[in-house]
Homo-oligomer: A and B are copies of this chain.
Amino acid sequence: MGAHSNIESQLKMTRTVVESRTKTAIIGFDQPFCVIGERINPTGRKKLAAELEAGDFSTVEKDALEQVACGATMLDINAGVVYNSNPNPNETEPPLMRQVIELVQGLVDVPLCIDSSVPGALQAGLEVAGGRPLLNSVTGEEDRLDLVLPLVKKYNVPVVAISNDDTGISEDPDVRFAVAKKIVERAADFGIPAHDIVVDPLVMPIGAMATAGLQVFALVRKLREELGVNTTCGASNISFGLPNRHGINAAFLPMAIAAGMTSAIMNPVRPQEMEAIRAANLLTNNDPHGATWIKHNKPPTVEGEAPAGARAGREGRRRRRA
């Protein structure tokens, strides 16, 4: 189809290249969905925060290894802990960011996503991260644009652009699109190309806003077609407050991928969501010869067990038919 061919020609242009010291990953419309592991983040994880304050990095190590083993393309690193001993994140977060990044890139070889709202922590992360990390994030707020875009330019890294501005997060998707457009244009003034901007259109909880899904799907399509940018989101936000969140997330991700979403910051340790993403990669022709799907869903061997996906399917059938 005509429209489809036009999109085909754009596919190759929107490639966000991220790198560790030894490994390259590409975020793009013609790539498998980029799963950015969200676990290394003390926000809302009191136990992890206390461990970090005590200099215990065992959970960080476990989370790094486990997320990569489960298929994360990249790992998000957030060191936004508020110490009991020092409540000033401008003092505590930069050295902790440095420490965690050095630890994680010694353990795993995937590219990293440096996640902070503290400019000094972004800077510290950029100084120690090997390769070409993704910076997370800039917003449409004037002071953030002024602080973060020079770092993006100086270190020649891609950046997550969150579509809120000084007026807050708009419930109107037109406003969120306009904020994203402003960030892309402002970045262009710095010589930063659109393919190095990964827009987060902001996912609202469907339980609070019934049109949240339709909004995101329409926004992602528009961001892709009109701005030519990759997109990301905090995927699990969609199901906040509702029962069986994994079931909602596991439908939301393929739908967002069908609309053109190319990455998500999410928990890769969840098998239901990861299976949905592998299926969506297959269905968008981003799993050549179905190799990854088949590898994860091998039929059971005589002595072995069925893989997780196949087993879940058969259990489902037995349960219903019993």
Contacts and interface: CB of A to CB of B under 8 A. Distances in A.
Interface of A: 1, 3-4, 70, 173-174, 177, 206-207, 210-214, 217-219, 222, 238, 242-248, 250-252, 254-255, 257-259, 269-272, 275-276, 278-280, 282-285, 288-290, 293-294, 297-299, 307-310, 312-313, 316-317, 319-321
Contact of A279 (B222, B251, B308): B251
A263 to B, nearest CB: 17
B285 A210 contact: yes
Chain A contact surface mostly? helix
A283 B269 contact: no
Count identical subunits in the complex: 2
A124 to B, nearest CB: 31
Contacts of A254: 251-252, 254-255, 258
Task: Name the residue among A255, A280, A285, A293 with the largest chain B CB count within 10 angstroms.
Answer: A255
A95 to B, nearest CB: 31
Contacts of A283: 206, 212-214, 238, 248, 251-252, 255
B317 A270 contact: yes
| Shortest Cβ-Cβ A-B pairs, 10 listed | A251-B279, A213-B283, A244-B297, A255-B258, A243-B297, A246-B313, A251-B254, A244-B309, A258-B258, A271-B316
Given A294-B242, A320-B269, A247 B206 contact: no
B213 A1 contact: no
Contacts of A285: 210-211, 213-214
A285 to B, nearest CB: 5
A316 B269 CA distance: 9
Task: Name the residue among A250, A271, A299 with the largest chain B CB count within 10 angstroms.
Answer: A250
A178 B162 CA distance: 41
A255 B245 CA distance: 18
A238 B248 CA distance: 22
Contacts of A317: 246, 269-270
Given A206-B283, A258-B259, A293-B242, A218 B251 contact: no
